[in-house]
A = this chain, B = another copy of it.
Amino acid sequence: MQKHQIKDVITRFPFLADISSEEWKEEGISIVSLPVNSVVYEGEFLKSTALILEGSVRIYKLSDSGREVTLFRIGNGECSPLMAAGILGRSEFEAWACFEKPTTILIVPIQTSQEWMDKYKGFRQFILRSFAFHLNNLSNLIETMNFKSIRTRISKYLIEKTSHDNDSLAITHDILAIELGTVREVISRTLKSMEKEGLLRLERGQITHIQHRQLLVLLNKDCREHTVTG
């Protein structure tokens, strides 16, 4: 690691300022760059802790039959807790990582990570917070998958990805199914019925004329109904 690299790293992860210049020289600490759309089996990362300096990584599960479900994304200044599971020395976790943007990662070998965890409170807190945050995220994902209808989940997704000024979204039914943890057939059927109701228009590879305001009304209505029936 060069001095200017260390400086860049500390700008992104201020708690790493605690690490001494001697410790930065330890073998295996490095910065790697991964091109967009590269895919790795996460097992490959479990020998190191990976801190994202810049970019975006989607962590997903892949079924034997090739279906996917997105677990979560990690971006600038974050750390995958599943990658970090490696710092415990063993992990049976199996997932895939897809780099959605060109991504630069600080790699810290497990042995070094463990030493830093023991020695530096800032590093320890960062890893623990990351674990707690993603546990919360996964719990909420399970809740959403169970309790919310596909129509509600599609509405929520479209609202998040569009605005009053930009009412189109380039996305295939396949990708939307992966994002929402269901199958393409369910997505297509639901989108078609939403198109009939004038909530959106389906075009090749994209959804256009998304009625942001109407979807928001539907979503609020759905939440209220859930509360009323409770």
Q: Decide if A230 touches B91 in the complex (CB within 8 Å).
A: no
10 tightest Cβ-Cβ pairs between the two chains A and B: A131-B131, A63-B147, A64-B226, A138-B138, A85-B132, A69-B146, A61-B143, A64-B230, A65-B229, A64-B227
Given A227-B64, A229-B65, A142 and B139 touching (CB < 8 A)?
no
Residue A134 lies at the interface, judged by CB distance under 8 Å to chain B: yes
Given A146-B69, A226-B63, A81 and B139 touching (CB < 8 A)?
no
Assembled-state Cα–Cα distance A45/B131 (Å): 18
Which of A118, A127, A132 counts the most B-chain CB atoms under 10 A from its CB?
A132
Residue A175 lies at the interface, judged by CB distance under 8 Å to chain B: no
Q: How many residues of A contact B (CB 8 A)?
A: 46
Type the 1/0 row for A108-149, where 1 means its CB is closer than 8 Å to any CB of B.
Answer: 000000000110010011011101101110110111011100
